Chains A and B, each alone.
Chain A
Amino acid sequence: MTKEEAQGATEEEQQAQSKKGQKKQQKEAEKAAKKAEKQAKLAAEQQSTEEDDFAKDRYGMPAMVQSQQKLDRALVRVQDLTPERADQLIWLRARVHTSRAKGKQCFLVLRQQQFNVQALVAVGDRASKQMVKFAANITKESIVDVEAAVRKVEQKIESCSQQDVELHIERIFVVSQAEARLPLQLDDAVRPEAVGEEEGRATVNQDTKLDNRVIDLRTTTSQAIFRLQSGVCQLFRDTLTTKGFVEIQTPKIISAASEGGANVFTVSYFKTSAYLAQSPQLYKQMCICADFEKVFCVGPVFRAEDSNTHRHLTEFVGLDIEMAFNYHYHEVIDSITDTMVQIFKGLRDNFQTEIQTVNKQFPSEPFKFLEPTLRLEFTEGVAMLREAGVEMGDEEDLSTPNEKLLGRLVKEKYDTDFYVLDKYPLAVRPFYTMPDPSDPKYSNSYDMFMRGEEILSGAQRVHDAQLLTERATHHQIDLEKIKAYIDSFRYGAPPHGGGGIGLERVCMLYLGLHNVRQTSMFPRDPKRLTP
C-alpha cells in the first residue's frame, strides 16, 4: 500500500465512522450560526436603539465636580417639596435611598438628611427605556442631581416624609457614585429592636454602627439626635448669655489633675509630662477670682476611667458653669436649674420633630420637669431609699442602682424627671468643696439628675486660701502642684459655686436613650479610638 492509498482508506473509514458525528457537527454549526445571527440581530437592535435613544442627554455620569463652572441653577430642598410646588419643574440634589424598577418604570426614594421623597422615572416622551434602566442601576447612597416635575399624589405616600407629592424625573445625573456594597443597610440601622425581633428582620448592633459611623450618622435617628444636641448647646449659650455670663476658653493640657490623680490621662510634654483636663474646674474658678463673676465654658473633657458602661466616655463635651454669688450657694443652684429648664423648654418647643423621629426607633416617655425645680436634701433621698428597703450608710455615696431607684421614687412621688439632690456628705466630694456650716459631715454640694441618672455635679467652692490648704492636705494632695490654684485665692476671692454638665448625657437622658455612645458623634471609650 502506498501512503496515499493508506490515507484514502483511513479517510473512508473515518468518513464511515463519523457520519453520525458529522451530522451532529452540522447541526451544532447550524445552531451556532443561528445563535450568532440572533446575537447580531440583538446587537444591531441595541445599537439602533442606542442610536435613537432620544433621552441620551437626559441622564448619565457627568465629569467630577471640580468647580469648572458656576451653574445658575437653584436646588430645592427635599423638605420644601409640598403641594404648593405642584406642577413646577425643579432641580434637586439628593441621595438614592432605594430604587425599585418595575417594567417600564423605576421608583426611587430620594433622601436628603432626615427627609425623603418618592421619585419616578417612567418610559415616555421625557425618558427612554435606557434612561429607566440607568436609573434602576444607580447604587444605593449615590448622590444624584435630578430635574423633575412635582406632582400631587392622590394617596399619601406613607413611607416618605414628603407624603403629598412625588417627583416625575426628567433628567438624572450621578454626581457621586457609591460602592455597590454597603457595610450596613440604613433601613436596618433605624429599625426598632422590638420590630426586628417580632418580624425576624435585621437590626444593626451598636459596634457595627459605630465602626461605620459615617453611614450610621445618615440615618434619620442620628440626624435628629445631633440636631437636638446642637440645640442643647445653642440653648445653653443663649440662656447664659442673657443671664450675663461670659464664655471662656480654658487650656486642656494642664499640669495637675483637678479631681484626684487616678483617672487622668498623662501626655508627654517636651521633657516633662502633662495631663488632659478632667474639667475646666481650676480655670473657671481662677476667672471668678479675676472678676469675671459669671463664666461658662463648652469644651472637651477627659476621663481616664477604665469603665465600660452605658454612660461613660473617655472624652466628652463638658458644659461648665461657675458664678460668684452674694450670700447663699442656692443662688447658684437656682441659676443652673433655671438654665436647664430653659433648655428643656426650648427642646420641647423647637425640636418636636427630632424628638418624635428618635422616639420612632427608641420609644420613651416625654421628659417631665417642674418649675421651680425640685430640690431634695441628700438625707431625704437616703430616707426615701431606706423606706423602699435599701440599706445604706449615712455618709455613703449613692451607687448607680440606688441612684436610678431614687429617680423612680422621685418620679412616682413628684412626677418629675429632673431634680436636684443637695447637701452631699463631705467625704465623697472633692477637696475644694465647701463644708456645711451646720454639720461638718455634710457639704454645700449638689448633683442634678435626669431620669434617675447624674448629669451634673457641683458645689460651693472653698474661696479661702487657708481652708483650701487644709482641705487639700486632708485629701493628701501635693500642695506644690496646686500652688498656683491656691494662690489665686490669696488676693481677695468672692464666694462662688458652679457645676459641670455632660452634653452627651443630657441628650441621652432627655431622649430616654440607653447608651451615651448614641449621643456622641465619634465616641471615645477605653476600647474605641476610631473612627
Chain B
Amino acid sequence: MALRELSSLEKYLELKKPNKYSTQGDKKVPVLQNNNGAPLVGLVTIARHLVKEAKRTELLGDSAESRAVVHQWLEYRVTRLNGCTKDDIKTILKELNLYLQDKSYLAENQLTLADILMYYGIQPLIVDLAVQEKEQYVNVTRWFDHMQHYPGVRRHLPPVVVLRNRIYTGRHH
C-alpha cells in the first residue's frame, strides 16, 4: 500500500528514475536505500525527501505556519488514519469534515503534500461509504472529489463516484 503510494507520488512529482523500496517490520514500514547516506525509513520521511529531490518544496508549505500545518496533517495521516478501527473512521470523518468546512485544501490555499497523502490514505474509507454518508460528510467528499480530479494525483486509485447534488435534504430517513 505505502509503496504504491510512494510510486504514485514519484509520478506526480515527475521524478525521472523510480526508486526501489523495501519494507521492514510487521507493519511494513517503507525503507528507501539512499545512495549517499543512511537509509530513509517511514512514509512521511521518504515522501518529504522525494518532494525535496523534485525541487517542489512549496508542497511542504511556503510559510513557517503552513509548514507546521502540513507537518501536522502528515502526522495525522500516519498516526490516526493508518490502521484505524471502525469507530475511529466516524471520528476521523467528523473531525475532517469540520476542519474542511471553510477550506479547499488542508493547508494554505494550494495543494500540499498533506492533501496528497491524506487523499491516498482516506480513499479506502471513502470507497466504502454509502451515498447518504458521503452526503453527511459533505466537506470531506468535496475535498476528496477535488483531489481525485487534481491533475496527476489520482494515479493508482480507482475513481469514486460522488454526487454533486444533495439527495438527503429532508428529515425523512
Contact = CB atoms under 8 A, between A and B. Distances in A.
Nearest to B127: A389
Contacts, number: 36
Interface string A484-502: 0000000000000000000
Given A388-B161, A389-B131, A411 B167 contact: yes
Taking each of B165, B168, B173, which has the highest tally of chain A beta carbons within 10 Å of its own beta carbon? Answer: B173
Contacts of A405: 130-132
A451 interface: yes
B171 A451 contact: no
A451 B172 contact: yes
A389 B171 contact: no
Given A387-B161, A388-B131, A389-B160, A409 B167 contact: yes
Contact of A365 (B130, B161, B166, B172): B172
Nearest to A417: B172
A365 B170 contact: yes
Nearest to B134: A389
- Category for how many chain A residues contact B: 10 to 19
Given A388-B163, A452-B173, A408 B168 contact: yes
- Category for how many chain B residues contact A: 10 to 19
B171 to A, nearest CB: 6
B36 to A, nearest CB: 47
Interface in A376-392: 387-390
B62 to A, nearest CB: 36
Chain A binding surface, main DSSP class? loop
B61 to A, nearest CB: 34
A526 interface: no
A451 B131 contact: no
A512 interface: yes
Contact of B167 (A389, A408, A514): A408
Interface string A413-455: 0000000000000000000000000000000000000011000
Interface string A338-369: 00000000000000000000000001110000
Contacts of B167: 408-409, 411-412
A348 to B, nearest CB: 17
Nearest to B169: A412
A409 B170 CA distance: 13
Contacts of B131: 388-390, 405, 408
B87 to A, nearest CB: 22
A330 interface: no
A218 interface: no
Interface in B130-160: 130-132, 160
Contact of B171 (A364, A409, A412, A452): A364
Interface string A394-405: 000000010011
A206 B144 CA distance: 40
Contacts of A401: 130
A454 B162 CA distance: 26
B172 A512 contact: yes
A212 to B, nearest CB: 28
23 contacts: A364-B170, A364-B171, A364-B172, A365-B170, A365-B172, A388-B131, A388-B163, A389-B131, A389-B160, A389-B162, A390-B131, A404-B173, A405-B131, A405-B132, A408-B131, A408-B132, A408-B167, A408-B168, A409-B167, A411-B167, A412-B167, A451-B172, A512-B172
Given A363-B171, A408-B132, 19 more contacts: A364-B170, A364-B171, A365-B172, A388-B131, A388-B163, A389-B131, A389-B163, A401-B130, A405-B130, A405-B131, A405-B132, A408-B167, A408-B168, A409-B167, A411-B167, A412-B166, A451-B172, A451-B173, A512-B172
- 5 shortest interchain CB distances as A-B pairs: A389-B161, A408-B167, A412-B167, A365-B170, A512-B172
